[in-house]
């Protein structure tokens, strides 16, 4: 059987081909699955997709009409999939429920320290042999307060690093993580976390209840010199409201690895054509904002685990087995 994989990065391709070697043939495409590319999947029973794939109603109907019966998404998040339509079309949908939480947690801290210590500005200056320190003043993390929204596996890993820095730990989640409590985390309501935290990092999934959890009111409740980091999902932040606050001169720094309108932009080269997203264009002009292109998960360890889980999802489907990765079992 040949499997069609959409949205495969050049670094991923040899890893995917090696993982499926001896099991199934796999055709890797660098284009992302959307309404325009969905017809390519005609004749493929199994399709693998990336996190920014469009798996809305129209795309799912095109896949089903072309003979696709199983979708293996290479990510944990699945807010891009219309699960009700998939179920109605009898499409089996599986995701990767777990991969290295350290990849994302460590990258969140990379963003936090990059904006705190002005790394991008400093590196840009030294390339021009400008070795002044003006405008590069950062601050110690030790003794300051970190607020962690979402204390699952990634939030816990982030908290352990914060504990190593010697920070005061505040957390918010629907359920407390005993490991975080043992580290000294105090669980508080969001309002107190926003008001007291010097650094706020987001690690909650994107759900209807968390859409724009960082809205205008939340942003205004934060300290003027707070650092805000998002390595989870772009829709957690009302980006237009964030730009308004940044224009008012607020926040020591903002580090974003995700953006709520990133589909069709992230993972693609837009350097020669530019973009027509005025909000993102404005966002990247702020000197104390760092935007990266959804790369927090992108380590050898995490990508390897994602691919291994995808292979298992395909194998389980063919063996008519289910697992915790299955979102929609095929009827």
Question: Any idea what DSSP says for residue 229?
Answer: E
Half-sphere exposure of residue 229, counting CA atoms within 13 Å on the CB side? 29
212 assigned to active site: no
For this structure, is 294 an active site residue? Answer: yes
Q: How far apart are CA 228 and CA 269, in angstroms?
A: 26
CA gap 300, 11 in Å, rounded: 9
The structure tokens listed for 46 are 């199994």
Interatomic CA distance for residues 256 and 179, integer angstroms: 26
Determine whether 17 is an active site residue.
Answer: no
Helix 153-165, helix 101-116: angle, nearest 10: 40
The tokens for 147 are 């607020």
Expressed in angstroms, the distance from the first to the final Cα of the chain is 21
Taking alpha carbons only, the member of 203, 277, 216, 202 closest to residue 246 is 216
Q: Are strands 289-291 and 25-28 parallel, antiparallel or unpaired?
A: unpaired
**For residue 51, how many other CB atoms are within 10 A of its CB?**
25
Instruction: Find tokens 């339509």 and name the residue.
Output: 85
Candidate list 74, 233, 250, 288, residue with the active-site label: 233
Contact 328, 69 (CB under 8 A): no
Give the strands of the sheet with 2-5, arranged side by side.
25-28, 2-5, 46-49, 70-73, 92-94, 326-328
Residue 220, SS3 per DSSP: helix
Return the active site residues. Answer: 233, 262, 294
């Amino acid at each position: 059987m040949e499997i069609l994989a959409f949205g495969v990065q050049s670094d991923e391709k040899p890893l995917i081909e090696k993982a499926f070697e001896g099991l199934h043939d796999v055709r890797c495409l660098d284009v992302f699955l959307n309404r325009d590319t969905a017809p390519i999947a005609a004749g493929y029973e199994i399709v693998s997709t990336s996190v920014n794939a469009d798996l809305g109603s129209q795309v799912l109907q095109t896949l089903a009409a072309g003979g696709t019966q199983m979708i293996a998404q290479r990510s944990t998040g699945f807010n891009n999939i219309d699960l009700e339509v998939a179920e109605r079309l009898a499409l089996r949908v599986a995701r990767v429920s777990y991969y290295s939480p350290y990849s994302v947690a460590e990258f969140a801290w990379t963003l936090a320290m990059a904006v705190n210590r002005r790394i991008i500005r400093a590196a840009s200056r030294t390339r021009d042999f400008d070795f002044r320190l003006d405008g590069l003043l950062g601050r110690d993390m030790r003794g300051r307060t970190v607020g962690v929204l979402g204390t699952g596996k990634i939030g816990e890993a982030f908290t352990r690093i914060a504990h190593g820095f010697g920070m005061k730990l505040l957390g918010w989640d629907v359920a407390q993580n005993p490991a975080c409590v043992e580290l000294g985390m105090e669980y508080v309501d969001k309002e107190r976390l926003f008001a007291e935290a010097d650094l706020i990092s987001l690690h909650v999934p994107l759900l209807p209840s968390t859409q724009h959890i960082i809205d205008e009111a939340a942003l205004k409740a934060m300290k003027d010199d707070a650092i805000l980091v998002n390595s989870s999902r772009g829709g957690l932040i009302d980006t237009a409201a964030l730009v308004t606050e940044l224009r008012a001169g607020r926040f020591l720094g903002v580090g974003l690895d995700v953006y709520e309108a990133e589909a069709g932009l992230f993972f693609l080269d837009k350097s020669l054509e530019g973009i027509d997203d005025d909000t993102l264009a404005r966002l990247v002009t702020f000197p104390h904002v760092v935007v990266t292109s959804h790369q927090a998960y992108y380590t050898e360890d995490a990508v390897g685990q994602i691919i291994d889980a995808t292979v298992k999802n395909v194998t389980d489907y063919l063996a008519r087995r289910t697992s915790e990765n299955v979102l929609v079992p095929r009827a």
